[in-house]
Structure 1
């Protein structure tokens, strides 16, 4: 059974935002890694999982020969509508064998075993509850000798922000929030962990790693950039706590960013990974059938030693949560939890909102700490 969220006006709007503002700085950069040296076999069967708004789907289509077929799936029909329009704009090229289907890959793909010559997934792994279980399922539908290519953000992504967030929590004795932050950061897999999961999925290959940076003029620009606002921000809010506790933490974070990076851009690093693996003969210890029919909550990662994936990783994704069925836009009984961290606006960025009087007068860091940080920055830049 597949889970297909209902359409809402919000989802349609977010699909446009993703394609116009997030994909150029996020999905496209990962997608270019996926496309590097990619060749589609003659009359090849290709599956694009979580294809989003159609990149790299359109580029894969350009590399397909006559007789090849491409199946592109996504849980969001709004995303697929954008992708379909892109294919239509290709003219005769768009009439090649490409088929779209609204389908979630969770808990498992609906396709039969050993069907596809090539399975690709650009950033979709970040939405799945288990990296290894997802890779095993991708390998299941691939032919023997077929190729699986996937991209995902790795450990070290947004490290500058995470370090600053940790400093704020330590400074203000937010121990529970600090534990939540550390658990969240640990969920970004390392290249070695991805390699371990590939091995467990009977995929023989390697993972390529590249770094790129995102620049923001201020804390306001950072938090309101679509790649942040519609990506990891909701999870970061939940880490801070609820209500005024969350607001206080983000006042401190805002002030820390603006103080540390006064007069220069706030630069954050993204560590992008692209795994490329060939499906090989199952090793004897891996020949047991993987049961993917159970509920997602029952997936156990103890065998791999990897923590569960975060609900919303820093993927800049605006796809619907696979676990929550959306309601129709015309439904009068729609109830939104305005007190949830995700729905709460950040007071620190509301015009005219005064800084709470109960916050430390010195802000997140005192003058001596800021001066020390300034010297450290200057020394690192000189190096």
Structure 2
């Protein structure tokens, strides 16, 4: 979905450890990438990986929006599975628009409504069995707040972007056990931080322990498959 052509200047918002920045500069020699993320250990790892490659890769810690990135300075912006609450997502999309120059392209990929339904069901079960009514309400609110294709388009346009084009890609991730699910980078670096942001809770150890044990209990004779509906959006700054 990236525009065809030569080198680009990319702002990667929520870059975590820098994927896929190194692959991008390999495909587009001469490109520059500036990545920002609130997770300092992830930024340090991204910096260490960047040192091994002779390319224009820079990484900064950014904990609030707007970031310190200059306005109107980038040809492209990228965010992949941002671990933010719905309120923070509004600020994130505005940030994409702010740092692009006119005609620049924003690329967004995130889980849409219908993703992670297996985890949502197990969290509902945890809330019911442990008489955690407030937690159950938070789960339902988080499920409802996950964007649909239509609402994501509306959010991008409300942020000041236009020519919005969204593709939905459906897939499943398979895990051999609850432990395998708990230890997978997708769970540790994306799903758990997203749940913390959506539920607005910093401590989910008890609900997650229940989820991991339930996976082993209910899927003891089969692989646990997690549903993902990924919205891949392209939009431009007018």
Q: How does 1:339-358 map to 2 (within 5 A)?
A: none
| 1:279 positional shift | 1.3
Query: Following the alignment from structure 1 to structure 2, what is the Cα–Cα distance between the partners of residues 46 and 88?
Result: 18
Asked which structure has the greater CA Rg, the reply is 1
Say if 1:129 and 1:104 are closer, same or farther in 2 by CA, change over 3 A: farther
Counterpart in the other structure of 1:151: 109
CA contact (8 A) 2:37 2:61 kept: yes
SS of match in other structure, 1:126: coil
Counterpart in the other structure of 2:134: 176
Q: Does 1:89 align with 2:48?
A: no
Query: Following the alignment from structure 1 to structure 2, what is the Cα–Cα distance between the partners of residues 105 and 89?
Result: 26
Counterpart in the other structure of 1:265: 223
Identify the structure with the greater strand proportion. Answer: 2
Runs in 1 of length 4+ with deviation above 6 angstroms? 249-252
CA contact (8 A) 1:223 1:233 kept: no
Say if 1:153 and 1:99 are closer, same or farther in 2 by CA, change over 3 A: same
Query: Following the alignment from structure 1 to structure 2, what is the Cα–Cα distance between the partners of residues 55 and 252?
Result: 31
Which segments of 5 or more consecutive residues in structure 1 lack a partner in the other structure? 1-36, 281-383
Q: Tell me the C-alpha RMSD between the 2 structures.
A: 3.3
CA contact (8 A) 2:14 2:35 kept: yes
Taking structure 1 as the reference length, the TM-score comes to: 0.52
1:138 pairs with 67, 91, 96, which one? 96
Taking structure 2 as the reference length, the TM-score comes to: 0.78
CA contact (8 A) 1:125 1:134 kept: no
| 1:179 positional shift | 1.3
Say if 1:115 and 1:159 are closer, same or farther in 2 by CA, change over 3 A: same
CA contact (8 A) 1:117 1:146 kept: yes
Query: Following the alignment from structure 1 to structure 2, what is the Cα–Cα distance between the partners of residues 63 and 232?
Result: 29
Counterpart in the other structure of 1:61: 25
Say if 1:217 and 1:70 are closer, same or farther in 2 by CA, change over 3 A: closer
